[in-house]
Amino acid sequence: MSPPHRVNPQPLSLSPRQPKDPTTTKMARINFSVLTILSVILLLPVLSLSFSPDSPSDRRLLVLFDDLSLKSSHSIFFNSLKSRGFDLDFKLADDPKLALQRYGQYLYDGLILFSPSIERFGGALDLAAVLDFVDSGHDLIIAADSSASDLIKSVATECGVDFDEDPSALVIDHRSYAVVGTEGDHTLIAADDFIESDVLLGENKIELKVRVLNVYGFWIKQAPVLYKGIAHSLNAANNLVLKVLSASPAAYSANPSSKLSSPPSLTGSSISLVSVVQARNNARIMITGSLDLFSNRFFRSSIQKAGSPKKYDKSGNEQFVAELSKWVFHERGHLKAVNLRHNKAGETDEPAMYRIKDDLDFSVEIYEWSGKSWEPYVANDVQVQFYMMSPYVLKTLSNDKKGLYHTSFKVPDVYGVFQFKVEYNRLGYTSLLLSKQIPVRPFKHNEYERFITAAFPYYGASFTMMAGFFIFSFVYLYHK
């Protein structure tokens, strides 16, 4: 047996979450074969690192920079990612060897575009490649700033977000700017208009938050996030994109260094500062117009919103970015539904076809990915439809707190090709769209009711006639 063959199976059996490089180098050390082995080794990561359905979290990320100084200026963010177990691959955006996939396999699970000014990616990467990357289920973070290139803008546009077309415009807010030492041009904003979703932003906000009494009751308020960058708006035609952090109503997008000659095109809370998209294939995209949002400087900076007496020692950026990146990289809010099962009441096997008015049991298991393992997902709003052009049965599933959702119902008195449909779309969670086709047939000829009481006279008449026939024949033949 030649050495390559021996090498092959071992890495394949590795769990995808284990770091790859040590293994391969160790292999290389063990086998002193030369080029052939080397090529195999190069292949190994590809084979073994492919996305595993068992753990939806991303592992390998590609980070693209305009210049490598960002690596140090944003190191806190990167280190937090590394500490969460990600493999980061830092590259210059115009690196001629840039490639997202090799031999039809994607090399990365996620892409972070920290290269706002790049006009053309190096290597095999281009707009279509980035979109394909997303369309095949991988995640993307785009951070732009005032130098955003057309390329970055068009990537964002394809994801349903339009950056301000004016290249010199920044988000300006004269009311909720961040108070810094000197009176600036109010382009450094303290934004705190978050989306209300624990799934997106995480639940552990207690240390950094104060409770603020609001007309709506108690709600948790996070420290504002420092933002300096360009504005974008959501494309109204896209119903998948969400504003996670929007600007205050007083904000507008304009060139801070020149006087306003015409009303700004983007104003108020229609300006989005950070948006996310969850595509139909559950690929997640985060788009922001501020690269500084992720920077060490903003992470470490204290913050005081203009007009607010409260001064936070630390801006909300680090937590905000960390929590959102957890969501983007599928460490949170990822559901899976498995074992969709249905059977006739009292049976266990799944039939190929139901009959009208059958009683049936339906069950499905739903789990949530906690970042490490699949935990039962508990909710009381999961529904199943028994659907043929329109739902004939719509039932809320009851769950046993262990992930098993269950219900039973009677098949309607309509035949046709039905579907069990579970459509579960909740903010932040991956959407569950399950459907299973099942035909429902009418009664067979021998399944109808028989010996109906109301029909006894008819039975009687028929048999009387028959008897009458015999008697008549008898009498008729022998009456002489």
Both structure tokens of 400: 């046993």
**Which is nearer to other proteins, 42 or 452 (by Cβ)?**
452
Task: Indicate the burial class of 111 (C-beta count within 10 angstroms; 0-12, 13-18, 19 or more).
Answer: buried
**Which is nearer to other proteins, 69 or 239 (by Cβ)?**
239
90 Cβ neighbours under 8 A, 6+ residues apart = 63, 65, 68, 71, 78
Query: CB of 280: closest distance to other proteins in angstroms?
Result: 5
Contacts (CB under 8 A) with other proteins, residues 224-243: 237-240
Q: Which backbone phi and psi does 252 adopt, to 5 degrees?
A: -155, 165
Residues 448-467, one symbol each (x = binds other proteins by CB under 8 A, - = not), give: --xxx-xx-xxxxxx-xxx-
Range list of H helices, 84-225? 127-135, 150-158, 198-201
Distance, CA of 428 to CA of 81 (rounded, Å): 20
Number of amino acids touching other proteins (CB under 8 A)? 53
Distance, CA of 376 to CA of 455 (rounded, Å): 55
Total Cβ atoms within 10 A of residue 101: 17
Query: CB of 178: closest distance to other proteins in angstroms?
Result: 33
Both structure tokens of 7: 């090498």
Element holding 445 (H helix, E strand): none
Contact call for residue 478 and other proteins (CB under 8 A): no
Contact call for residue 475 and other proteins (CB under 8 A): yes
Are residues 144 and 155 in contact, defined by beta-carbon separation less than 8 angstroms? no
3-class DSSP state for residue 225? strand
Query: CB of 448: closest distance to other proteins in angstroms?
Result: 8
Q: What per-residue string of b and e applies to 453-475 under the rule 16 or more CB within 10 Å gives b?
A: eeeeeeeeeeeeeeeeeeeeeee
Query: CB of 161: closest distance to other proteins in angstroms?
Result: 10
Distance, CA of 247 to CA of 252 (rounded, Å): 8
**Which is nearer to other proteins, 359 or 447 (by Cβ)?**
447
Query: CB of 409: closest distance to other proteins in angstroms?
Result: 19
Beta-strand pair 432-441/354-355:
parallel
Residues 350-379, one symbol each (x = binds other proteins by CB under 8 A, - = not), give: ---x--------------------------
Query: CB of 456: closest distance to other proteins in angstroms?
Result: 9
Contact call for residue 167 and other proteins (CB under 8 A): no
Residues 266-305, one symbol each (x = binds other proteins by CB under 8 A, - = not), give: -----------x-xxx-x-x--------------------
Contact call for residue 39 and other proteins (CB under 8 A): no
Contacts (CB under 8 A) with other proteins, residues 319-348: none
**Which is nearer to other proteins, 204 or 437 (by Cβ)?**
437
One-letter amino acid at 37 equals I
Contacts (CB under 8 A) with other proteins, residues 76-135: 131, 134-135
Instruction: Look at the block and give the residue holding tokens 């006279």.
Output: 457
The single residue among 179, 378, 388, 434 that binds other proteins, judged by CB under 8 A, is: 388
Contact call for residue 8 and other proteins (CB under 8 A): no
Are residues 78 and 88 in contact, defined by beta-carbon separation less than 8 angstroms? yes
Distance, CA of 236 to CA of 250 (rounded, Å): 21
Distance, CA of 241 to CA of 320 (rounded, Å): 18
Contact call for residue 468 and other proteins (CB under 8 A): yes
Q: Is 346 left (phi over 0), alpha (psi -120 to 50) or beta?
A: left
**Which is nearer to other proteins, 122 or 391 (by Cβ)?**
391
Residues 132-151, one symbol each (x = binds other proteins by CB under 8 A, - = not), give: --xx----------------
E strands along 237-351, which residues?
Answer: 241-246, 252-254, 272-278, 284-288, 303-304, 311-312, 334-344
Q: Beta partners for 163?
A: 232
**Which is nearer to other proteins, 73 or 431 (by Cβ)?**
431
The single residue among 158, 162, 361, 423 that binds other proteins, judged by CB under 8 A, is: 158
Contact call for residue 25 and other proteins (CB under 8 A): no
Contact call for residue 433 and other proteins (CB under 8 A): no
**Which is nearer to other proteins, 14 or 240 (by Cβ)?**
240
Query: CB of 432: closest distance to other proteins in angstroms?
Result: 16
Contact call for residue 159 and other proteins (CB under 8 A): yes
Contact call for residue 389 and other proteins (CB under 8 A): yes
Are residues 228 and 189 in contact, defined by beta-carbon separation less than 8 angstroms? yes
Query: CB of 286: closest distance to other proteins in angstroms?
Result: 13
Contact call for residue 444 and other proteins (CB under 8 A): yes
Q: Which residues bind other proteins (CB under 8 A)?
A: 131, 134-135, 158-160, 237-240, 277, 279-281, 283, 285, 353, 388-389, 415-419, 437, 439-442, 444-445, 450-452, 454-455, 457-462, 464-466, 468-469, 472-473, 475-477, 479
